[in-house]
Chains A and B, each alone.
Chain A
Amino acid sequence: MTKIGRRDFVNYLLGFGGISAIAAIFYPIGRYLVPPPIREAEPTTLKVGSIDEFPANSSKIVRFGRKPVILIRDSGENIHALTATCTHLDCIVQFSEDRQQIICACHNGVYDLTGKNVSGPPPKPLTEFAVKVIDKEIVISQMKA
């Protein structure tokens, strides 16, 4: 068995202490840098205004919890509600009146009015929300999976 000398022992002790000290400094810093989750109530339904103030061939973007949602009334009087963030790189999409499509200006992504990705880079469709009109009030809610 090799004997550990006094000097070696002190060196091990110093090394161990040094590593512990570094860990004790960097662990809190690491934890500190990770932001704590901010809890926000996830709404299930949202009133977005009167149908009379929402003419055909128009769109608007509303906040649903923390997510932006695009609300579109097409030429055929149907109302669509879809997540407004492009599935490609997170840009906010817009309604193109003449094409009757949803387009993303960042990289020319194109979706149809049901949210299906039809051309350009988007890999996935936009998520659809359920739309109801109750007493002339438009109400959107998350679709059940």
Chain B
Amino acid sequence: MSNFFDSRVARWLDDRLDLSPIKNLVEHKKVPIHHHTVWYYMGGVTLFLFLVQVFSGILLLMYYRPGENSAYESMQFITSKVHFGWLIRNIHAWGANIMVLFAFIHMFSVFFTKAFKRPRELTWATGFILLVLAMGFGFSGYLLPWNELAFFATKVGTDIAGVVPIIGEKLKIVLRGGDDVTGATLSRFFGIHVAILPALTTVLLGLHLLFVQRQGMSEPEFFEELPEAKKHYIPFFPDFVLRDALLWLVVLIIILSLAVFFPWELGLKADPLASAPMGIRPEWYFMFMFQSLKFLPPHILFFEGETLGVLFFAVAGIFWMLIPFVKLQNGSINESKFFTYFGLATLAFMLGMTILGYLV
């Protein structure tokens, strides 16, 4: 990389644009080496998976036709007639799931290594919003093939939005483009999936990456406390980037294998007059919320159980996003330990509810 900055092209660009910040980053960015270094790769993998989604999504757009009478048919056309259409569709479907998985792993690893703390509060907050957007991508994209499962999942999902106090009913109608899930909903979800969410994600991802580059790699407390002589680093360019690239390749191979050996079924075309099929459930990353709502009694005090549940998740989400700003006043509690236990409890709750969701 350092050779590049001596080249004529680089000098030409440097005269006009001042490449010194990039040069500085390339030459001086370093990655601490310790027994939690592996977690530094998770964000990069999520970014890579996002790019895979962007490219495979653009390819799907070449043939996909939104609409009650064309969406399912165009998906059938893609998977059965277009060369490698089945592959592109399955990469997109598997990639989506794995991207959300890695986003979760990235978030929890940042949480447990306490990398969200000052000065990285904004990196954490933008990251959390990106995860919510990724879940929005998953939810809106799920409907697009217009099959039976997607149709009912969307009915349930948008119905849950309806229980939000005061604005719920309006929100539901805006989301559905009417009272019910119809072709109008499909148009809306398509617009959300290919225009609104990508626009928001581009801005937030830009900020998130900018913050990461400005601040450099976070060093965990135990590493910071080491004497300088015992701190080991590797250069970001090219050492870390090459390792990252290798991991990206491994992840790509995993997605390809899943796409080839475990293709997603298209299922039956959505029929608004058919009864919901057995075993209808949301995508796995919504399961913990879906399952928790099922456990709530119909009424809690003066509120409907579901309303309270939805409010709880909304408040919990906001709290989780703002967690870097939480200061514990009481000196008797070890702040670091408190966060660890809190994170473990959250993770246990989410995992427990997800497993229950698949068992019950």
A29 to B63, CA, bound (A): 13
Interface class of chain A by DSSP: helix
Q: Which of B62, B83, B249 contacts A28 (CB 8 A)?
A: B83
- Residue B59 is within 8 A (CB to CB) of chain A in the complex: yes
A64 to B212, CA, bound (A): 61
Q: Which residues of B contact A28 (CB under 8 A)?
A: 83-84, 87-88
- Residue A76 is within 8 A (CB to CB) of chain B in the complex: no
Contact A32 B59 (CB under 8 A): yes
Stretch in A1-9, A33-41, A86-94 with 4+ CB within 8 Å of B = A33-41
Min CB distance, A97 to chain B, in Å? 39
- Residue A31 is within 8 A (CB to CB) of chain B in the complex: yes
Q: Which residues of A contact B84 (CB under 8 A)?
A: 28-29, 31-32
Q: Which residues of B contact A35 (CB under 8 A)?
A: 63, 82
Contact A33 B87 (CB under 8 A): no
| Count of interface residues, chain A, beta-carbon cutoff 8 Å | 9
A71 to B84, CA, bound (A): 42
Interface code A11-33, partner B: CB below 8 Å = 1, 0 otherwise? 00000000001000000110111
- Residue B85 is within 8 A (CB to CB) of chain A in the complex: yes
Q: Which residues of A contact B81 (CB under 8 A)?
A: 36
A36 to B62, CA, bound (A): 12
Q: Which of B59, B83, B87 contacts A36 (CB 8 A)?
A: B83
A35 to B59, CA, bound (A): 12
Q: Which residues of A contact B62 (CB under 8 A)?
A: 32-33
Q: Which residues of A contact B87 (CB under 8 A)?
A: 28, 32
A35 to B85, CA, bound (A): 10
A28 to B87, CA, bound (A): 9
A33 to B59, CA, bound (A): 8
Min CB distance, A50 to chain B, in Å? 32
**Across the two chains, which residue of chain A brings its CB closest to B87?**
A28
- Shortest Cβ-Cβ A-B pairs, 7 listed: A31-B83, A28-B84, A32-B84, A36-B81, A31-B84, A32-B83, A36-B82
